Amino acid sequence: MISNGKHHAGSAGGGEGIPPPKDQDLMLDAWREVLAQVLHTRDNEWKQQLRAIKAESLAAVAEMRANVAETRSAMEDMIAKRLAQIREPADGARGELGPRGEPGPPGKIETVRAYVHGAVHYERDVVVHEGSTYMAKHDTARTPPHDDWQLIAARGRDAAMPKIMGTYREGESYSFLNIVALGGSSFVARTDDPGPCPGEGWQLIASAGRPGKQGQKGERGEQGQRGERGAVAPTILGWKIDRERYCATPIMSDNSEVEPLQLRALFEQFHDEAS
């Protein structure tokens, strides 16, 4: 027991054996600091290498682009020289007429579709609008006829016919030759989207009749009694279209006969202006 005690005292006094816990913490802190410095140094080295690689890559890409541009310029010069030789051949003896070639394949017409109002149509699109056929000169959202469109085939005289649209309503969309009733009169649209009626976009075709003559004054009734209601003035219920004679006859509410409207002159005027 005495010898063991001396051994332990000797170990503590001589500095040999396991160091106290406080010395261990100092050593761990020292190791951590050294490791952090090593990692920081290695991280800086990696970043420098990465920047060097990136710089080399950019230089290589720039060199490749320069080579491509030089090669492209050389090819364009060569092609231009060859084209010049083809366009300006040396004068020589006229050769004999060669044999007639075989017939080529039949031509193909572009797809024709109906014009869509408000949509974008692209170059060379072929559309039909109001009986006429147009081809787009370039991408456009304009409505034909317009400078953006090339007229291919104009509509014939009978391509559009009058259409009864009933009583005029503000804000509704109307087209060429639509017929509306307003205030006892009738109007026909001179163009697509004619605007408010009456107006420059509308043609009066039947005006409201004058008020009828005042009837004879009836006998005074007994005081307090109301007289009978007068007859309602006739109105236009619709139109009867005669396509052969270009006539439009109003259909009256009292079945009375009215002179038909002669529209041939209006159609001929429109055809002359459109041509």
Q: Cis peptide leading into 198, omega within 30 of 0?
A: yes
Query: What's the pLDDT tens digit per position in 36-81?
Result: 888 888 888 888 888 889 888 888 888 888 888 888 888 888 888 8
Fold of 112-153: Seminal Fluid Protein  PDC-109 (Domain B) (2.10.10)
pLDDT at 9: 41
Q: H-type helices in the chain, by residue range?
A: 2-14, 21-87, 264-274
Task: Record the tokens describing residue 72, joined without a space.
Answer: 């492209």
Given this structure, which CATH class describes domain 163-209+234-274?
A: mainly beta
Q: State how far the Cα of 109 lies from the Cα of 81, in Å rounded to an integer.
A: 37
Predicted TM-score (pTM) of the model is 0.28
Calculate mean pLDDT across residues 25-35.
Answer: 83
State how far the alpha carbon of 156 is from the alpha carbons of 42, 45, 71, 179, 268, in Å. Answer: 86, 83, 58, 20, 11
Question: CB of 134 within 8 A of CB of 126?
Answer: yes
